[in-house]
Amino acid sequence: MTKRKICVVVTARPSYSRIKTALTAIKKHPSLELQLVIAGSALLDRYGNAVDYIEQDGFKIDAKVFMVLEGENKTSMAKTTGLGVMELATVFYNLKPDAVVTIADRFETIATSIAAAYQNIPLIHIQGGEVTGNIDEKVRHANTKLADIHLVASNDAKARLLKMGEDADYVFNTGCPSIDIANVVRESPELNFNPIQKYGGVGKHIDWKNGYLVVMQHPVTTEYDEARLHVTTSLKVIHELGIPTFWFWPNVDAGADGTSNGIRSYREIYQPENIHFFKNMIPEDFLRLLVNSKCLIGNSSVGIRECAFLGVPVVNIGTRQHGRARGENVIDVSYSSEAIKNGINNRFEKAKVIKQSAIYGEGNSGEKIANILADVKLRFHKTISY
Amino acid sequence: MTKRKICVVVTARPSYSRIKTALTAIKKHPSLELQLVIAGSALLDRYGNAVDYIEQDGFKIDAKVFMVLEGENKTSMAKTTGLGVMELATVFYNLKPDAVVTIADRFETIATSIAAAYQNIPLIHIQGGEVTGNIDEKVRHANTKLADIHLVASNDAKARLLKMGEDADYVFNTGCPSIDIANVVRESPELNFNPIQKYGGVGKHIDWKNGYLVVMQHPVTTEYDEARLHVTTSLKVIHELGIPTFWFWPNVDAGADGTSNGIRSYREIYQPENIHFFKNMIPEDFLRLLVNSKCLIGNSSVGIRECAFLGVPVVNIGTRQHGRARGENVIDVSYSSEAIKNGINNRFEKAKVIKQSAIYGEGNSGEKIANILADVKLRFHKTISY
Amino acid sequence: MTKRKICVVVTARPSYSRIKTALTAIKKHPSLELQLVIAGSALLDRYGNAVDYIEQDGFKIDAKVFMVLEGENKTSMAKTTGLGVMELATVFYNLKPDAVVTIADRFETIATSIAAAYQNIPLIHIQGGEVTGNIDEKVRHANTKLADIHLVASNDAKARLLKMGEDADYVFNTGCPSIDIANVVRESPELNFNPIQKYGGVGKHIDWKNGYLVVMQHPVTTEYDEARLHVTTSLKVIHELGIPTFWFWPNVDAGADGTSNGIRSYREIYQPENIHFFKNMIPEDFLRLLVNSKCLIGNSSVGIRECAFLGVPVVNIGTRQHGRARGENVIDVSYSSEAIKNGINNRFEKAKVIKQSAIYGEGNSGEKIANILADVKLRFHKTISY
Amino acid sequence: MTKRKICVVVTARPSYSRIKTALTAIKKHPSLELQLVIAGSALLDRYGNAVDYIEQDGFKIDAKVFMVLEGENKTSMAKTTGLGVMELATVFYNLKPDAVVTIADRFETIATSIAAAYQNIPLIHIQGGEVTGNIDEKVRHANTKLADIHLVASNDAKARLLKMGEDADYVFNTGCPSIDIANVVRESPELNFNPIQKYGGVGKHIDWKNGYLVVMQHPVTTEYDEARLHVTTSLKVIHELGIPTFWFWPNVDAGADGTSNGIRSYREIYQPENIHFFKNMIPEDFLRLLVNSKCLIGNSSVGIRECAFLGVPVVNIGTRQHGRARGENVIDVSYSSEAIKNGINNRFEKAKVIKQSAIYGEGNSGEKIANILADVKLRFHKTISY
């Protein structure tokens, strides 16, 4: 029997982490053949080149595509996307997949969608139907409209896609595959490594053994100029609190420089003695760090998804996760010092009573995804349902 | 007072014809400044280079962008789009418009949408909300999801956009500006030129003065291989009918070669004595030809829109216009000879009772569009409404 | 032993024909591995898609790259080249060849050169050092300056490269591999097929059995507007002569439309009864047609190279082959009717005394090329020799 | 009278500095109109966005083109160039210049050359004919072969172009316009600013008032992996010497990370008390710093050109400037500690007897260039001279 060739395009390291258990399940599935394309910032050293990790995980990469324009501004985001369309079109033409998988809502994911849809290759979109309220929102829903088959992460998302006119036969709630790794961690949650020894990082050598915070705050794309102000406010709050803290640098996006420079300046000027900075961590370690922390602060989707599943308290700042379904672990706050401080206190109080939630899946999404990819009727022609 | 700079991107000659009265109204509006970008097949001789017409109409072109890849296949459509994103991003970066207008649903229109949306330039989409059921459908709805402001052509389309989660404050039914020219023709409908003398064309010199048909049949993109069969069936039917007929070559699209080659072969082998072939005609002349014809046959959107307004009988073949709101002038038929023949007979019978319809506007869309562009609150940030 | 991976990029069907025996020899060589990339017009139907021929010849294609922009104008030539650089860079990055081969001087060949040279992949240029005097001239010498190793077709070319400052250790006169096929034909020259039966073509069914002419006239790129005039002049001369003639359409280049439209118009208006038109022919058949003809007329490089080897009389029109070393088979004439007529008469007179010449090789270039590719020291760093 | 439109493309900040007096002279010339295109790294903040400087200098920028791919590797260099060809082709098509000027030999300058040459726009190359011996060497000579008119900086360079087959009527020795600024400095050489106060920089606050060194060491492209070793060796030598030193970070190139990271690490680990680091300086200030220094160390072309004119002693390390004509101010040394130390000592000894040299011009190159651009017969068609 000929196997279905499923081409997955990974354009950023966090996307790889999120999708990894699905890749493993596709690779193992007897009637599927995995074609893996690594592109965009996933190839770049300064965002943590994902290639080494991917190869260590045992995956063969079928094509690599450099496509990120310099500038970290909005013009370069557009041009990166255009370049991606052109080159991914060639890649798909040469690999001849039976279906292409595009992941979530980063700006360049629409390049995968166009390159597949325009060549009449059935397009599968993972993690549509969510709501956040910035450029990601436009990209995510445009991906939905280009896609033929939808694998969403929550019932909330599924309901939204149906309202948008998608055909119920082609919308599947698989949960989020990022929860699969969280599941492993939930089953044996001990912090089995020394973060600073294993990952280095910069900043003071904090004493984290009696409790610590984790911060991960990304720039919000359409609020470019405020990125620096936002991150500086958060830094001041955490610095003043004095609790040992692991702080993670943001991924690249337009605005990264605002946030990154904000962090860099604060560090150089104030040298906060209670904060240690990391670039990144393998996902399992990161989740283990979270599950043992007192609270996650920032605006990462990890706070909304994995932390719901793990029951980790989260102070979610600002609009970046706006509209995504939440577990009871999250409190939403504005960008002000006052709001952030109150949020942290609130989470400390409630920590005991937060329950783990399955709104983003139960830890077996990878397999669910592979099974659907093997069984679903592939199509590349659709009409809105109303 | 600084004028609002409205950048309109025209990527195909038919789009120019459709939007022309809006361009004129924008140019004349005291608080608007028109920036006109001509790109894609609108620049190419073999699709009827639109530049001369545009300049004769008194418009200044601010930038021209060659972006069409050769091949007329699906891969080249994707790559054309990617190239368009990259270059239009540069054009917008240099022209600095206050808003960008993208038109309808041709595959490359999404390039305009991405280049504007990703640079946080308010994006206005004209003619969203319609339903057709091929790759255009995906493109049109993806454009909607990238756009901030929607100028639709019918109440039907407006209702659909609201269902899709667009904000009612930003969806306007302006009617279709193509109706504006139809309005001029409706007011003085005489056929004031000799088509063959004025436009040449190829084929027999038919005697059209006692009644004639018009045919315009485009390939349907996702049914590439059948394009030739479809057009040949229609040619046989019209040839056998023996009624004098003006037949228009299709525009370019993937599949054009199927249709074009079908026409070319049939012409060379059978030399049908009742058919004269044209490449194109200026819109006003074309509408005048239609309003004096016995029937329009094929799958052009002109049959659905302008002919509804003009009350011209239409035999609409196949799926290309599937889902667009219809006046009573249209009968839908399949691709079979029998169905086409029956359709034509049916239209001959009903011709007397067909009423003119305003479902696609009343002939003042251009001005409506300009006024909205001058007054609407521009935004580049939106959230789905549910 | 690891084989040297030699990546050959073919961007046009005539280049494939010319290089074919070298490809075969590389494929067979025990210490070489052939990587074959097909790009540009070699993939396009209207220039005679080369893919089927290449696969019938037993070659596996490692990557295909669509890169030709529509327009057939100078802007699209530039953009095609830019697109080629980008995509071929990705192809080489993924294929990881030990050396890349770029062929001759078509405008897009510099894309191969840049994509290889900039990635520090040793670049081998075939057929440098010749002189022609149009845009090809600039491209050819720029290719030379980007290349590390030079395989030229004549002593004349070799001498020129040394003057240009190339290192004598890296310049090899291999002869032209196109001569290898000519060698097969020279050994058994009978016309063993019926051209019209085998290739169809358009135009009158001429009686070629008692002697015929062959014409192949390409546009000269930098004299765009004159292309049509030139070809029309030649058509009139040949038409008036009345000798049965096989006329070959030109390849694509900027200006193709001038030449092609000139031929098309002349054919439609005058329907010359002594001319039959072909799009193309497999090289061996073409050479067989030439060796049995009375004379080749036009400006093809075949007249300069293969015809020198075969001893076929040639009337070479205009500047296109200016500066290439000639055998005694060639007479050069201007674009005027008078000059062309005189040239043909002159060749008829001299036909008996023309000797076969080895200035472009002896029929074993393919093997010579493969052996050099296996043995040469690969380098990607060079300095001009003065 | 219609002015000649001269389009100058600047792709890097150092190129702007070098060409600035020519831009001024073109702008002032009564029969020339300057079209200025800023592209590539000249637009990027991390290489010192040149736009502000250019606008402060009173120039209007006609188009800006983002084209730098991320990665700082060889693949991204190739793709940047390809993107540049495509976009600059569009820019030239829209600006319609009478001639295009491309500057020197950075990898992306060939994009300008191709975009102009392929569109039959006369191409003027500034600073051809020099010899250095890395990828720049290939690019520079390929630019020469694409260019129609050559404005070189020395007699040495002129002689080389003639040997390469260029037509003597189109090769002009104008000297290097960078010398024009050096001329201003030579006439009033006092150090009229405090470098650390004016430019900040990082590192210790050195006492430079009693004599100091300047270092500027760029990575050598084709020796990527050694870049870090080379710069570390130089750092150790200078650190041990203990003389106050101003050290300038390199520009971007593939390999920049090797050099930059080498500097960054050394600084963090050893915190050399005698070295202060700068990113960049306006050219006039930089030359003033040099003319008052004891010696320039590194591999910058400033050491070869401006320092010859100014009579500043230079220790030139390694191969980067290999083959460029030298004044007596330069001593060439290898990358070893020993060689560098000896070189510095040698320069200290010889400092008194070094004479100023005019091999790269006399300080009026900008005007010479403008006059030639106004008077030269423009052509876009050339043939090699042998």
pLDDT along chain B (386 residues), means of 10: 95 91 98 97 82 94 95 89 98 97 96 97 97 86 98 96 97 96 95 94 90 92 72 96 94 61 85 92 93 96 95 94 90 96 96 93 96 96 90
Neighboring chain A residues of D71 at a CB cutoff of 8 Å: 43-44, 66, 68
Contact in structure between C374 and C31 (CB atoms under 8 Å): yes
- The reply to whether A379 touches chain B by the CB within 8 Å rule is no
- Do the chains contact at B69 and C70, CB–CB below 8 Å? yes
Over range A359-384, report the average pLDDT: 95
Task: Supply B222's token pair.
Answer: 């996702």
Whole-Å CA distances, B109 to A11, A109, B26, B105: 24, 18, 20, 6
D-proximal residues of A, 244-273, CB under 8 Å? 257
CATH code: domain C183-353 is: 3.40.50.2000
- CA neighbor of C186 nearest in space, from C361, C6, C8, C68: C361
Dist CA C279 CA C248 (whole Å): 6
pLDDT of residue A221: 58
Residue of B nearest to C252 (CA): B70
Q: Which of D79, D84, D322 sits opposite C89 (nearest CB)?
A: D79
**Measured between beta carbons, which residues in chain D are less than 8 angstroms from residue C142?**
110, 142, 145-146
CB proximity B118 to A under 8 Å: yes
Q: Do C164 and D147 form a contact (C-beta atoms < 8 A)?
A: no
pLDDT at C220: 76
Contact check, Cβ <8 Å, C138/D146: yes
Judged by CB atoms closer than 8 Å, whether chains meet at A82 and B115 is answered as yes
Contact C99, C111 (CB under 8 A): no
> Which subunits count as partners of chain C given 3+ CB pairs below 8 Å?
A, B, D
Would you give the DSSP letter of residue C68? P
Instruction: Determine which of D9, D51, D86, D118 to mutate to test the interface with B (most B C-beta atoms within 10 Å).
Output: D86
Residue A73 and residue A44 in contact, taking contact as beta carbons nearer than 8 Å: no
CA distance linking residue B180 with residue B21, whole number of Å: 7
Q: Which amino acid, one-letter code, is at A378?
A: L
User: Which of A38, A44, A90, A92 is best to mutate for the C interface (most C CBs within 10 A)?
Assistant: A90
Q: Which of A74, A77, A114 to mutate to test the interface with B (most CBs of B within 10 A)?
A: A114
Q: How many CB pairs under 8 A join B and D?
A: 27
D243 shares contact with chain C (CB less than 8 Å): no
Weakest mean pLDDT among C253-257, C281-285, C298-302, D272-276: C253-257
Cross-strand bridge partners of residue A248: A216, A278
Sign of the four-CA dihedral D296, D301, D306, D310? positive
Confidence of residue D13 (pLDDT cuts 50, 70, 90): confident
A63 CB neighbours in chain C (<8 A) are: 90, 94
Which residue pairs from C185-191 have beta carbons closer than 8 angstroms and sit at least 24 positions apart in sequence?
C185/C284, C185/C287, C185/C288, C185/C291, C185/C310, C186/C291, C186/C309, C186/C310, C186/C356, C186/C363, C189/C288, C189/C291, C189/C292, C190/C288, C190/C292, C191/C288, C191/C289, C191/C292
Q: Which of A141-155, D222-236, D283-297 has the lowest mean pLDDT?
A: D222-236
pLDDT at A33 over 90: yes
The β-bridge relationship of strands A202-203 and A275-278 is antiparallel
Q: Say how many C-beta atoms besides its own lie within 10 A of residue C58's C-beta.
A: 9
Biggest alpha carbon distance in chain D?
Answer: 64
D 86-105 → B contacts, CB under 8 A = 86-87, 89-90, 93-94
Residue C373: both structure tokens together: 């590719």
Tokens of A268: 């150089």
pLDDT of residue D114: 98
Does residue C253 register a pLDDT over 50? no
**Interface contact D66-A44, CB threshold 8 A:** no
Q: Is D4-176+361-375 a CATH 3.30.565.10 domain? A: no
- Sort strands B99-103 and C275-278 into parallel, antiparallel or unpaired: unpaired
Calculate how close chain A gets to D70, using CA atoms only, in Å. Answer: 5
> Tokens for D244?
């106050």
The answer to whether D32 and D26 are in contact (CB under 8 A) is yes
With CB atoms and an 8 Å threshold, state whether D86 touches B90.
Answer: no
Quote the pLDDT of residue A254. 43
CB contacts < 8 A, A to B, total 153
Contacts with B68 from chain C: Cβ below 8 Å: 69-71
The answer, for D76 touching chain A at a CB cutoff of 8 Å, is yes
Chain D neighbors of C84, CB-CB under 8 A: 82
Confidence of residue D109 (pLDDT cuts 50, 70, 90): very high
CATH topology of domain A184-353: Rossmann fold (3.40.50)
For residue D101, give the 3-state DSSP assignment: strand
Encoded tokens for C116 = 């290889």
Angle of helix C337-350 relative to helix C227-241, nearest 10 degrees, comes to: 50
Q: What angle do CA A61, A67, A69 make, to 5 degrees?
A: 150
Per CATH, the homologous superfamily of domain A4-176+362-375 is Glycogen Phosphorylase B; (3.40.50.2000)
What's the CA gap between A328 and A309, in Å, rounded? 10
C306-311: average pLDDT: 96
Bridge partners, residue A205, by sequence: none
Closest CA to B85 of D12, D316, A118, C278: A118
Least confident range from A89-98, A130-139, A295-304, D82-91: namely: A130-139
Q: Does B67 touch chain C (CB under 8 A)?
A: yes
Of D67, D69, D257, the CB nearest to A66: D69
Residue D314, pLDDT above cutoff 60? yes
pLDDT tops 90 at residue A48: no
Q: Which of C83, C145, C160 sits opposite D141 (nearest CB)?
A: C145
* Amino acid type, C211: G
If phi > 0 it is left, if psi is from -120 to 50 it is alpha, else beta; for residue A69 that is: beta
Domain(s) of CATH 3.40.50.2000: residues in chain B: 4-176+362-375, 184-353
Q: Residue B305 to residues B150, B172, B294, B334, B351: CA-CA distances in angstroms?
A: 19, 18, 17, 20, 17
Quickly state the pLDDT bin for A223 (edges 50, 70, 90): low
Edge to edge, the sheet with strand B171-173 lists: B63-65, B32-39, B4-10, B99-103, B123-126, B149-152, B171-173
Owner of token pair 């401080």: A341
Strand-pair partners of D349:
none
Note whether B86 contacts D83, CB cutoff 8 Å.
Answer: yes
Bigger pLDDT: A53 or C257?
A: A53
Alpha-carbon distance of C42 to C51, in angstroms, equals: 7
Q: Which whole number is the average pLDDT over A335-345?
A: 97
- Tens of pLDDT, residues A88-118: 999 999 999 999 999 999 999 999 999 999 9
Whole-complex ipTM:
0.89
- pLDDT above 60: residue C88: yes
> Which residues on chain B are in Cβ contact (under 8 Å) with A225?
none
Q: What is the rounded CA–CA span in Å between residue D143 and residue A149?
A: 50
- Asked if A75 reaches chain B (Cβ–Cβ under 8 Å), the answer is yes
Interface test with B, best of A134, A136, A138, A381 (most B CBs within 10 A): A138
Is 80 exceeded by the pLDDT of residue A66? yes
Query: Is residue C58 pLDDT above 60, yes or no?
Result: yes
Residues of A in contact with D257 (CB under 8 A): 45
Whether the Cβ atoms of residue D308 and residue D338 lie closer than 8 Å to each other: no
Nearest chain A alpha carbon to D40: A70
Query: How many Å apart are CA D55 and CA D20, to the nearest integer?
Result: 12
Encode pLDDT of D151-193 as tens digits: 999 999 999 999 999 999 999 999 999 999 999 999 999 999 9
Token reading at A84: 């991606």
Residues A55, A100: Cα–Cα separation, whole Å: 21
Interchain proximity B70–C257, CB inside 8 Å: no
Q: Is A359 part of the contact surface with chain C (CB cutoff 8 Å)?
A: no
Contact D83 B83 (CB under 8 A): no
What pairs with residue D196 in β-bridges? none
Q: Which residue of C has its CA nearest to D320?
A: C383
Selected residue of A46, A47, A70 to mutate for chain D interface (largest D Cβ count, 10 A) = A70
pLDDT in tens, C337-370: 999 999 999 999 999 899 999 999 999 999 999 9
- What are the DSSP E strand ranges found in chain B? 4-10, 32-39, 63-65, 99-103, 123-126, 149-152, 171-173, 202-203, 213-216, 245-248, 275-278, 295-298, 314-317, 330-333
For A290-320, b where at least 16 C-beta lie within 10 A, e where not — what string? Answer: bbbbbbbbbbbbbbbbbbbbbbbbbbbbbbb
Q: Please say whether the beta carbons of D74 and D254 come within 8 A.
A: yes
Residues of C in contact with D110 (CB under 8 A): 114, 142
Minimal Cβ distance to C70: which of B68, B75, B257:
B68
Residues D284-298: what's their mean pLDDT? 96
User: Could you tell me the pTM of the whole model?
Assistant: 0.89
Q: Where in chain C is the domain with CATH 3.40.50.2000?
A: 4-176+362-375, 183-353
- Tell me which residues of chain D, numbers 5 to 64, contact chain B at a CB-CB cutoff of 8 Å: 63-64
Touching partners of D (3+ C-beta pairs < 8 Å) = A, B, C
SS3 label, residue D124: strand
**Lookup: tokens for A123:** 């397009």
B289 vs B287: CA distance, rounded Å: 5
Q: Is A342 on the interface with B (CB under 8 A)?
A: no
DSSP H/E element including D125: strand D123-126
Asked if A62 and A90 touch (Cβ cutoff 8 Å), the reply is no
Locate CATH 3.40.50.2000 in chain D: 4-176+361-375, 184-353
Four-residue CA torsion sign, B339, B342, B344, B346: negative
Residue of C nearest to A38 (CA): C94
